[in-house]
Structure 1
């Protein structure tokens, strides 16, 4: 998820936050990490905030995109609970000031990295290096940036490629709080998803791992229409515009809507206002019980049920199949694993709060 702009979904997590710039504001302002002592986060101690600040500051100095800051903080949350841990297995002669003892007999620091000696594969550096938050963060970022396509991977996949943990699925649960904490210590710099002076491209992955599915004006809005809920928004885009997965996840449906097949007979030609259903459409299951839906594709989707997709991966192309009067993407967001209209939320504020504002 995004950062300090998550006021509606993260309300109560922070007792003090700075105002984040609008997600659509990608002007050239300098990014700034706040003084850790000025950030108060519910559920985090001053020590944890200071360590997260060191991780984010190092990422900024290395010009790592904000998505990397969230991955790094979430990884440290899993590995050390954001504490700089020593270890009983480290010789006392090598002991340094620390914030507790870890569980892994040969690993230390925020990321529980293995020091040398021994030299060779799996060694990250000296104990002193790895017990220095900025240095251990730099080593994590160095390894992360060697992972091909890391910005489009899910947080768990990216973290696991670096850490090679025995519990590879454990990182995902930290993503929402890590993203919110990164937003707080960075003053909302994570929402732009950019370095100073750059604007986000339509398929650029934000710090929280989200992407605009298409770049197009918002047409018909979310809300009641004709006695029923229009459970998403219509994004106006030309026929055959690529449609991209809004975040990483697993495809749970990629089919011709049964209602369209019943009223039109096929999804392989344009529908009409008298037709029913989504036409060719895709549903994707994301972390935290979020589901996104993409309707009215012009041909069979480029993905299949059960397939994992990366954020920004093309899943189909814009068309006008089903209940449609012209080419566009109907885009929905559902919470609590509820694909029914009862689970639908307005995609416009949702995507804005996740740093990927909809629009041209």
Structure 2
């Protein structure tokens, strides 16, 4: 394959005052941009379009990508913008191309070719994707990918690997997930922050809307007790104060690990009554396993959760209702984020910066 001429990635930072975090998170985007770049006038925010095109503000390179890969990623994003595909679709498309071609526009590889697969997405002319010349055109190939993605019912709430597989029908259906973090970073860089504008054109992220990175605010509620030491032990999450029976949503797609009455609560007084500051345990709670060893926890539900261990849930799917079971002095959701697959307090991190950097900041009023 002949390499395309090396070009820089043209990006523009969103203006510093734009905090409508519907995408990957402003901090993550900034980390992938070279120092000294100036924001472009009219940077994307929560305006009428929501899918603003990239503005020229200097030439930078994106760490971890060659100029060719970044240019192909930029093409995929721009086609998605032109088609008014929500930013989540851009991440899915870029991650798919990373798996299929490593973001190279591959021609016929001879004996090493997989059947008649060609181009960024390894689309097969024999399977109705277009002529060989068409699927070798990155713009055409990207458009065909998005056309099929948009026909998948509920694709925005699906785990990335599921949505990609519904389009690609790959022999390795779980391979796409590993590319999601890097794809999200590339999308944030080459879109100049346009992915921060919200999931739907003209809207900021609402509680049940999925960000480009695949995250959702579990409840829109004010933050009460914060993460950190409390009474000689770690308060391993934050308390989101809201009304009894407020809907609790999955913060991201994943698999239910536990959906039970905490054993300590069950032994003390059970989970079907309000707890107290002297009652131990989480009450009715759910643990979800997400990609890359991330776990989220949802405590103090009012009744048995609506999901069970082993269930696969979509981002934003209802898990249960806010209550006050377990170690609780009033209705609220106790929400935790754990890393490295560690459900203990050692794996817990402060969920406030985590959710902000993933485009679904905690806080606000219901």
Does structure 1 conserve the Cα–Cα contact (< 8 Å) formed by 2:72 and 2:103? yes
Does structure 1 conserve the Cα–Cα contact (< 8 Å) formed by 2:23 and 2:197? no
TM-aligned CA deviation for residue 71 of structure 1? 0.1
TM-aligned CA deviation for residue 215 of structure 1? 0.9
Does structure 2 conserve the Cα–Cα contact (< 8 Å) formed by 1:16 and 1:40? no
Q: Distance in 2 between matches of 1:312 and 1:123?
A: 34
Asked if residue 183 in structure 1 is aligned to residue 193 in structure 2, the reply is: no
Does structure 2 conserve the Cα–Cα contact (< 8 Å) formed by 1:213 and 1:243? yes
User: Please, which of 138, 142, 151 is the counterpart of residue 137 of structure 1?
Assistant: 142
TM-aligned CA deviation for residue 88 of structure 1? 4.0
TM-aligned CA deviation for residue 354 of structure 1? 0.4
TM-aligned CA deviation for residue 197 of structure 1? 2.9
Asked if residue 247 in structure 1 is aligned to residue 252 in structure 2, the reply is: yes
Q: Would the alpha carbon gap of residues 324 and 354 (structure 1) be closer, same or farther in structure 2, given more than 3 Å must change?
A: same
TM-aligned CA deviation for residue 33 of structure 1? 2.3
CA displacement 1:132-181 (0-9 Å, x = unmatched)? 11111000000000001000000000000000000001000000000000
Asked if residue 333 in structure 1 is aligned to residue 343 in structure 2, the reply is: no
- Per the alignment, residue 26 of structure 2 pairs with 5
CA displacement 1:196-254 (0-9 Å, x = unmatched)? 53122210000010001111111111111111111111111111111110000110011
Does structure 1 conserve the Cα–Cα contact (< 8 Å) formed by 2:101 and 2:121? yes
Q: Would the alpha carbon gap of residues 29 and 173 (structure 1) be closer, same or farther in structure 2, given more than 3 Å must change?
A: same
User: Please, which of 105, 121, 124 is the counterpart of residue 111 of structure 1?
Assistant: 121
Q: Would the alpha carbon gap of residues 58 and 289 (structure 1) be closer, same or farther in structure 2, given more than 3 Å must change?
A: same
TM-aligned CA deviation for residue 191 of structure 1? 2.8
Q: Distance in 2 between matches of 1:2 and 1:339?
A: 26
- Per the alignment, residue 40 of structure 1 pairs with 61
Q: Distance in 2 between matches of 1:37 and 1:130?
A: 31
Does structure 2 conserve the Cα–Cα contact (< 8 Å) formed by 1:87 and 1:105? no
Asked if residue 51 in structure 1 is aligned to residue 72 in structure 2, the reply is: yes
TM-score by length of 1: 0.88
Q: Distance in 1 between matches of 2:143 and 2:295?
A: 34
Q: Distance in 1 between matches of 2:74 and 2:60?
A: 9
Does structure 2 conserve the Cα–Cα contact (< 8 Å) formed by 1:74 and 1:171? yes
TM-aligned CA deviation for residue 17 of structure 1? 8.9
User: Please, which of 277, 281, 288 is the counterpart of residue 284 of structure 1?
Assistant: 288
TM-aligned CA deviation for residue 29 of structure 1? 7.2
Asked if residue 70 in structure 1 is aligned to residue 91 in structure 2, the reply is: yes
Deviates more, 1:79-88 or 1:174-183: 79-88
Q: Distance in 1 between matches of 2:158 and 2:288?
A: 15
Secondary structure of the 1:41 match is: coil
TM-aligned CA deviation for residue 37 of structure 1? 8.0
Secondary structure of the 2:305 match is: coil
Deviates more, 1:184-193 or 1:307-316: 184-193
Asked if residue 169 in structure 1 is aligned to residue 179 in structure 2, the reply is: no
TM-score by length of 2: 0.87
Secondary structure of the 1:200 match is: coil
How many residues were matched structurally?
338
Asked if residue 299 in structure 1 is aligned to residue 303 in structure 2, the reply is: yes
Does structure 2 conserve the Cα–Cα contact (< 8 Å) formed by 1:191 and 1:354? no
CA RMSD of aligned residues (A): 2.4
TM-aligned CA deviation for residue 26 of structure 1? 3.6
Does structure 2 conserve the Cα–Cα contact (< 8 Å) formed by 1:17 and 1:39? no
Does structure 2 conserve the Cα–Cα contact (< 8 Å) formed by 1:80 and 1:102? no
Does structure 1 conserve the Cα–Cα contact (< 8 Å) formed by 2:28 and 2:185? no
Gapped runs of 5+ residues in structure 1? Answer: 90-100
Does structure 1 conserve the Cα–Cα contact (< 8 Å) formed by 2:107 and 2:136? yes
Q: How does 1:127-276 map onto structure 2 within 5 Å?
A: 127-264=132-269, 266-276=270-280
Does structure 1 conserve the Cα–Cα contact (< 8 Å) formed by 2:23 and 2:199? no
CA displacement 1:101-123 (0-9 Å, x = unmatched)? 973130111000012xx4xxx21
Does structure 2 conserve the Cα–Cα contact (< 8 Å) formed by 1:251 and 1:285? yes
Q: Distance in 2 between matches of 1:252 and 1:129?
A: 45
Q: Would the alpha carbon gap of residues 6 and 20 (structure 1) be closer, same or farther in structure 2, given more than 3 Å must change?
A: farther
- Per the alignment, residue 93 of structure 1 pairs with none
